[in-house]
Structure 1
Amino acid sequence: MFSRVLAPLFDYFEARINPYPDGRVETPPKGLMAFLWHFSRPVWPMLLWMSLFTALVSATEVVFFNYMGELVDWLAGVERVGFWQAHGAALIGVGIAMLIGLPLLVLLQSLVTNQSIFGNYPMIGRWLSHRHMLGQSLAFYQDEFAGRVSQKVMQTALAIRETVTKVMDLLVYAIVYFTGAAILLIKADIWLALPLFVWLLGYLAIMRFFVPRLRNVSMAQANARAQMTGRVVDSYSNIQTIKLFADTRHEQNYAREAMEGFMTTVHGQMRLVTVLSVCLTLLNTLLLVGMAATVLVAWYTQVISLGVLAIAIALVMRVRFMSDWILWEVARLFENVGTVQDGMNTIANAPAVRDAPEAPTLAVPRGEIRFDALHFGYAEAGGAYKPVFDSLDLTIAPGEKVGLIGRSGAGKSTLANLLLRFYDLQGGAIRIDGQNIAEVTQTSLRHQIGMVTQDTSLLHRSLRDNIRYGSPDAGDDAVWDAVRQAHADGFINDLVDPEGRRGLDAHVGERGVKLSGGQRQRIAIARVLLKNAPILVLDEATSALDSEVEAAIQEQLEHLMQGKTVIAIAHRLSTIAMLDRLLVVDGGQIVEAGTHRELLAKNGIYARLWKHQSGGFIGLDAPDQASTDKGYLDPA
């Protein structure tokens, strides 16, 4: 009933802040204050309103204490018979003001704090951080635990809210309350304020000693917690490998090592907490005893009235309880500051690969690809680079189908990753139809390239969502057409997930673990068929398929490649022998180029690889052209 009455107010205040702000994705700044402000800008007006209402509530409490002291003096100095005539109207007025005014202030403070700020504020942090992390380069995620990154995004967003709201809430509440209490005591007798100011000096000394230490141990704890979570998530993500090698003991020790590191920080934190509790209790007891002795002496010598005595004792009791709350809130504040600083070290990293300012959209009317004087190497420890390509030049004509061949580590997949701009070059340029890919948006570049990789991972969503990932507006008819072309219709209708969802609605599990390697590969091929991009990259696209399915899909791949510029990488030479041109990559250079027959005639690296795969029967190396064109080469 009460919630229904307040529902319009709830709706109004919940809508005061947009938890999903739009605009260009920005890298958060590195400094603590700038980092906090980056995520606090949309909330700032409501934070000021929260502080105002907090100040009014605090001032109301102090005024009420003062009135209670006056009430004691009235009771002490007036006969019962004439009390209501003298003070009845004032008492009723104060009672009504407190019954209506204070709950109204608390309601407004709660609406601003709970409805506007508490839910929306951390979601802004999660949303902005997530958008930024999605733009991080591939190299970033190759060096990080996914679980550790996700936990830092979630933890840091909450810690930002707690840090900012606690600072504003504590400062306003403590300043207003302590100042009001000091004014009331000084107004009665300046000596009554002496125990309060002595206590304040001791309180600040305790904070100065303990808070930095709690902050440091909290930072270490946040990092240890993220490390522990990352290791646990890594184990769960690779559970098949763990079970395959039956090495759960090693995984237990791997996780326990991180857990022990986390527990070390917990023990250090709890030791500080114990000493802090004892010091604070001692200080508060000294305040209570000191103030009691002071007011009793002052009352006994008739310096103060009984009402002032009551105010002083009540205020001291309130300050005593408030000091516990403030100190623990300050301790938690610095714990949150430690979490924010730890998260900032991960979240505030600028992406290694960024769009140029005002980068245009890539247009691909023809599909020519040029690699001009390519220089690239992977970063190593100490800032050095392990070279992969040195002045590589290559031109792929519009609509040409090119196969890349070479030993593992020769740079074939790296070339495909550079084309997709997963990494930036150290020199040279890659141009598509004359446009430098470093000068166009990454999104438009990847929209124009379809890729099927050897290690196909799917999103833990429905099959429909996975297939439509590159073409979100595609209808079910188009999806089924791509499924049939990829020869995936034979198993999709039989799929059922634990929630009872079937066919295209069935969810495939994390990274697609509920499907076999061949099934995942066929879904990946269906996804690229549906995307229908003008440039196609096939990186061992049929490696996970059995021979029968590969032969059936080969025809669809040939259909898919029509009118497209194609780069195909394969270890099985039979899968690419029918392409227009084959390139042998070795040592970061193209050492051989030509058609299948031309390369066999050269009797070089390609011929040796072909001989090795064909079992040494060199007579099989020159099949008739018809079979070559259809891609049915099978040296076995």
Structure 2
Amino acid sequence: MFAWFERRIDPYPTDTPDMPPRSLGKFLLHYSHGALPWLISLALLSSVIALIEVMLFSWLGEVVNRLSDTPRDVFWQQEGARLAMMAVVLLIMLPVLNLLGSLILHQSLMGNFPQRIRWQAHRYLLRQSIGYFQDEFSGRIAQRLMQTALAVREVAMKIMDVGSYVLIYFLGALVLAASQDWRLALPFLAWATGYGVMLWYIVPRLGHVAKAQADARSAMTGRVVDSYTNIATVKLFSHSAREEAWMHDGMDSFLRTVHRQMRLSSAQDITLNTMNVLLVALVTGLGLWLWTEDQIAVGAVAIAVPLALRLNNMSHWIMWEFAALFENIGTVRDGISSLALPRQVVDAPNARPLVRGPGEVRFDHVTFRYASVAGEQPLPILDDLTLHIAPSERVGLVGRSGAGKSTLVNLLLRFHDIDDGKITIDGQDISQVTQDSLRAGIGVVTQDSSLLHRSVRENIAYGRPEASEAEIADALRIAEAHGFVPGLSDSYGRRGLDAHVGERGVKLSGGQRQRIAIARVALKDAPILILDEATSALDSEVEAAIQSRLDALMEGKTVIAIAHRLSTIAAMDRLIVMDEGRIVEQGSHTELLAQNGLYARLWSRQSGGFLAADAAE
């Protein structure tokens, strides 16, 4: 029985995730789509249960009247059928309805519903542009993803379950009181009016505070994660006290929102308690007065007073449910600001997979600007750049920091869309092929190659998940990593390829991380290879040992290499010298030295093989 209800909502839908709407209602409907039939079922069950509970008060009043009017010796004979019906409703029907409601609530909705939201939102975020993640804390994004999923569930369930129950219950109670005497309904109407005014005043303010609190909580979590992620930097610069002050500021911002929330909650409690006392007093006093005037039966008092007491008990629950509703609405609104953002780079409507070829690369009159600040026209990072790289040609990119080398590589990977011109691989416009197939055809080793917090084997096989153990071993040898990997271990006793490397590979040295990253790219075996400071993290001895392996890795591939240490790329087929987003020189190492231009000056100014700063330039 449990398993059947647990399978009613698919927590992992396979539909391609679309951008969520930015309006609150549409955002809720977007993520409630698969759970909507069960939310409606829960609302209908709650409404029926509320009606039954109100009917029980009506029957109680009838029983009290019969007790006062019917002789004891014929009471069971006259009232037995009515009491039997009450017993069936109370002992069978109501428990069955509550059972169904509980199964839908706990088995179908509580777990699967938020999991479905997390899965859909996570899949959408994975396809977000790289700039999205550069502008936010990763911990903040994760926090918003997790808390928004729960908040959407709570908002949807409170509206459908609690909202329908409260509405039907109160309307039923009002009609029932009025059916005994219209004057008995007046205290309930007055109480409802005051209750509504209080909800109108306090609850939206709680919602605004909740949104601010959710944002402050995300920021606080982001600061914690940022400090822990960069703990080595914190310790190296002896800035524990500074981090404490930074964290204190974040926590204090969050605490101020908590204080604002608690002040509103106290005002709510004081007002509500006063209203509840007045409701019970007015209903009891009015009921007794009408009974002494012989205008209502004793059963009417037996209905009205318990109803007032029941609303007294329910009112705090209702208020907190509404407060929680608006708090979660605030959290959802906060989540919308992060989750419902368009992708900056999207596949063309009819994009096709990149057809792998020999690896010819062309940049035709490419101009690119980063997003501008409002009212300002940014200078181009690449300005009308044209470059042709032949298949299997090895090209080195040279230039001072900011010349546009890394931008050129990022545009080839289509991390950003160009403003003008065209980039092609084997004659295929990269803007017209799928991003996944484009990047699958390019291998990249960067200066800071981060690793996943998984095993060494999983990190290397990330380049080609279906690779065999023999192929992984070959990749390790190419990267000169076969010597240290067997000796690796982690705190769980896993060794060698099974050892986990820690977050971003923190358990390995910089050189070890880089060699694992090179092995990963070697296993990928893409026709185009990008080396962005690929050996900068290696010491001279290891770099010399691995250089011959890199030559083997580059064999038959189109290579684009970036290095500030010019000696590492001097042997490339062609060197491209860039300055201020343009190509200013190109040729072999010998040819460029003979030109006595920018490359020659950079070469002569190197100290220890690195580009030196030149204030005059």
For Structure 1 versus Structure 2, the TM-score category normalised by the shorter chain is over 0.9
Gaps of 5+ in 1: 1-8, 617-636
Q: What CA distance in whole angstroms lies between the structure 1 residues aligned with 2:608 and 2:135?
A: 40
Deviation of 1:89 (Å): 4.1
Residues 1:470 and 2:477 aligned together: no
Supply the distance in 2 between the matched residues of 1:122 and 1:69 (Cα, whole angstroms): 43
**Structure 1 residue 71, shift from structure 2 partner:** 1.4
Distance 1:386 1:174 in 2: 60
Q: Is the 8 A contact 1:379 1:386 kept in 2?
A: no
Residue number in structure 1 paired with 2:29: 37
Query: Is 1:357 the counterpart of 2:379 in the alignment?
Result: no
Q: Is the 8 A contact 1:430 1:437 kept in 2?
A: yes
Q: Say yes or no: does 1:286 pair with 2:278.
A: yes
Partners of 2:17 and 2:288 lie apart in 1 by: 64
Q: Deviations over 1:355-407 (max 9, x none)?
A: 11121111121211111111112224326424211100000011111011111
Residue equivalent to 1:521: 514
Structure 1 residues 437 and 182: alpha-carbon distance in aligned structure 2, compared to 1, 3 A threshold: same
Return the alpha-carbon distance in structure 2 between the equivalents of residues 271 and 52 of structure 1: 36
Q: Secondary structure at the match of 1:333?
A: helix
Deviations 1:548-567 (A, max 9, x none): 22122111211111111110
The aligned residue for residue 298 of structure 2 is: 306
Stretch moving more, 433-442 or 245-254:
433-442
Residue 140 to residue 386, structure 1, CA distance change in 2 (3 Å): farther
Q: Does residue 374 of structure 1 match 2:369?
A: no
Q: Does residue 585 of structure 1 match 2:584?
A: no
Q: 1:258-317 CA deviation, whole Å, 9 max, x = no partner?
A: 111111111111111111111111111111111111110111111111111111111111
Gaps of 5+ in 2: 610-617
- Structure 1 position 142 matched with structure 2 position 142: no
1:201 matched residue in structure 2 = 193
Equivalent position amino acid for 1:526 in 2: A
The whole-number CA distance in structure 1 between the counterparts of 2:50 and 2:458 is 53
1:255 equivalent among 247, 253, 256: 247
Amino acid at match of 2:317: W
Q: Find the aligned partners of 1:406 and 1:89 in 2 and give their Cα distance.
A: 96
Query: Who is 2:615 aligned against?
Result: none
Q: How does 1:169-188 map to 2 (within 5 A)?
A: 169-188=161-180
Give 1:316's match in structure 2, choosing from 302, 308, 316: 308
Residues 206-257 of structure 1, C-alpha deviations (whole Å, 9 max, x = no match): 1111111111111111111111111111101100000000011111111111
**Distance in 2 separating the partners of 1:470 and 1:35:** 36
Tell me which residue corresponds to 1:234.
226
Deviation for aligned residue 1:354? 1.0
Q: How far did residue 614 of structure 1 move?
A: 7.5
Counterpart check, 1:327 vs 2:312: no
2:444 is equivalent to residue 451 of structure 1: yes
Q: CA RMSD in A?
A: 1.4
Pairwise CA distance, 1:615? 7.1
Offset at 1:82?
2.5
1:485-524 matches, within 5 Å, as 485-524=478-517
The 2-side partners of 1:96 and 1:221 are apart by 48
Say whether residues 1:121 and 2:110 are aligned partners.
Answer: no
Q: Deviations over 1:1-53 (max 9, x none)?
A: xxxxxxxx110010000011111221111111111111011111111111111
Alignment-mate amino acid for residue 389 of structure 1: L
Q: Provide the residue aligned with 1:561 in structure 2.
A: 554
Matched, 1:430 2:402: no
User: Distance in 2 between the 1:386 and 1:127 partners?
Assistant: 40
Q: Is 1:412 the equivalent of 2:399? A: no
> Among the aligned pairs, what percent are the same residue?
54
Q: Secondary structure at the match of 2:519?
A: helix
Moved more, 332-341 or 78-87: 78-87
**2:122 match:** 130
CA offsets, 1:317-344, max 9 Å, x none?
Answer: 1111122111111111001001100110
- Rounded to whole Å, the distance in 2 between the matches of 1:316 and 1:575 is 85
State the alpha-carbon separation in 2 of the partners of residues 68 and 163 from structure 1: 35
Count residues in correspondence: 608
- Aligned equivalent of 1:152: 144
CA distance in 2, matches of 1:51, 1:167: 8
Distance 1:72 1:614, change over 3 A: closer
Determine the structure 2 residue equivalent to 1:628: none
**Is the Cα contact below 8 Å between 2:350 and 2:432 reproduced in 1?**
no
Question: Could you say which residue in structure 2 is the equivalent of 1:604?
Answer: 597
How is 1:46-57 mapped onto 2 (pairs within 5 angstroms)? 46-57=38-49
Contact 1:495-1:502 at 8 Å conserved across structures:
yes
Q: What is the letter of the counterpart of residue 560 of structure 1?
A: L
